[in-house]
Amino acid sequence: DRQIKIAPSILSADFAAFGAEVRAIEAQGADWVHVDVMDGHFVPNLTFGPQLVKAIRPHVKTVMDVHLMIAPVDPYIDAFADAGADILTAHVEAGPHIHRTLQAIRGAGMKAGVALNPGTPAEAVAPLLDDVDLVLVMSVNPGFGGQKFIHATIDKIAALREMIGDREIHLEVDGGVDVATAPLVAKAGADALVAGSAVFRGGSVDEAQIYGENIAAI
């Protein structure tokens, strides 16, 4: 029996009130806070960096789950460790030396995650499974919240769950996860669900509770 972690993405929060927003999602029962870091180069959008992680860290006890959509990654690893990131996830597509990057993340005292874009096959992370704590499957093209879930992702999640076997690795799904798609990804084997617009919809985190009840019913 796998316990599902809920990781609200603050990409859909009120940017003028991050402290209050993360306290609210923690109060609603979020397990992790998902922080989407974008560089306007690896993805066509800009968000925030280690300073934001440092600023929100004292507001909550939840795990800081930081998703880097940046290239290169290595020059920023120490800054995220110092800021208080618990999990640092880099994209397998972000550079030619993902294995070195994952080692550096663990070396800096964090859990290491590897993310795959929708167009990247599950096999791309097979050689990395002994060196990661988390695999993040993108179920939309990274860059923006509020996009439509790509259903081909379901088979990829199932394939990755099989490949992971009995290793202690979280399988996280990110993009278009809502009350309709959450049960599908959980049944396919995901154990960590990122949700941006489904949690912050309408500018209110009240939706998170509804969301949580649905997850509990899976």
Structure-block tokens of residue 153: 């992702």
3-state DSSP call for residue 136? strand
162 versus 213: smaller Cβ distance to ligand DX5:
213
CA–CA dist 178, 183 (Å, integer):
9
CA–CA dist 69, 94 (Å, integer):
8
Among 5, 67, 91, 161, binds Zn ion (CB under 5 A): 67
11 versus 169: smaller Cβ distance to Zn ion:
11
**Is residue 166 annotated as part of the catalytic site, yes or no?**
no
User: Can you give the binding site for ligand DX5, defined by CB under 6 A?
Assistant: 9, 11-12, 34, 36, 67, 140, 142-143, 145-147, 174-177, 194-198
Task: Give Cα 172 distance to the centre of its chain.
Answer: 6
Could you tell me the CA-to-CA distances from 63 to 13, 122, 155, 183 in Å, in that order? 17, 26, 28, 23
Shortest reach from residue 42's CB to ligand DX5, in Å = 10
34 versus 111: smaller Cβ distance to ligand DX5:
34
**Is residue 174 annotated as part of the catalytic site, yes or no?**
yes
DSSP 2: P
Structure-block tokens of residue 138: 């993108």
Would the CA dihedral through 152, 153, 156, 161 be positive or negative? negative
Out of 36, 39, 65, 86, the active site residue is 36
Question: Does 65 contact Zn ion by CB under 5 A?
Answer: no
Shortest reach from residue 8's CB to ligand DX5, in Å = 9
In single-letter form, the type of residue at position 178 comes to D
**DSSP H/E element including 211:** helix 207-216
Residue 11 binds which entry of ligand DX5, Zn ion, none, CB below 5-8 Å type-dependent: ligand DX5
Structure-block tokens of residue 167: 């290793």
Stretch touching Zn ion by CB under 5 A, among 23-31, 64-72, 182-190, 207-215: 64-72
**Look-up of token digits 């985190």:** 205
Question: Does 91 contact Zn ion by CB under 5 A?
Answer: no
Shortest reach from residue 106's CB to Zn ion, in Å = 20
Residue 12 binds which entry of Zn ion, ligand DX5, none, CB below 5-8 Å type-dependent: ligand DX5
147 versus 214: smaller Cβ distance to ligand DX5:
147
Give the largest CA-CA distance in the chain. Answer: 42
Question: Does 36 contact Zn ion by CB under 5 A?
Answer: yes
Closest CA to 93 of 131, 149, 130, 142: 142
Residues of this chain that bind Zn ion (CB under 5 A): 36, 67, 174
Tell me which residues are annotated as active site.
36, 174
